[in-house]
Amino acid sequence: MNEMFVSFFSSGIWAVIKAALLLLLAFITAAVVKSLVVKLFTKTKWNALPKQTDNANGKEKSVDFIGKLVHLLVFLLFVPGIFESLGMREVSSPILNLLNTLWGYLPNILAAVLVIWVGCFIARLVRELLVPVFGRPSGIEY
């Protein structure tokens, strides 16, 4: 009985250590990807959402939101593996189903973003063509 307890305890400890290392790897990977995405959006000055700055630190709220969203999604990719290493398949299974559903929606989301981006480009082009012809309406800022 004592050997069985030691065997169970040691295997449990290794599972917890493996899960802790995966958790650490998830945090580091998500933080690095978030940093890269925020730097990319800041350097290219491309912003999908209207510009809103946080007066306290001067960061754009929309870029920060996108960075947090990317951080969450990257971290979510590691969660099923963490629960699997702890032997919690009942918990990891619904998370895997959620991730599979999200991956199924990804092409539609990317297509919608592309359509919106092309629509904004065409709207700017039309504005540039029509404003010189008809003039600027009074009271509207661009």
- Spacing of C-alpha 71 from chain mean position: 5
Q: What pLDDT was estimated at residue 26? A: 94
* Separation between Cα atoms, residue 76 and residue 120, nearest integer Å: 31
Those residues whose C-beta lies under 8 Å from the C-beta of residue 35, and which sit 6 or more positions away, are 67
- pLDDT by residue (tens digit) across 96-120? 898 889 889 989 988 998 999 899 8
With CA atoms as reference, report the closest residue to 83 among 74, 75, 96, 92. Answer: 92
Residue type, 39: K
Q: Model's pTM, two decimal places?
A: 0.61
- pLDDT by residue (tens digit) across 37-67? 988 888 876 654 455 555 555 556 778 888 8
* Separation between Cα atoms, residue 23 and residue 32, nearest integer Å: 14
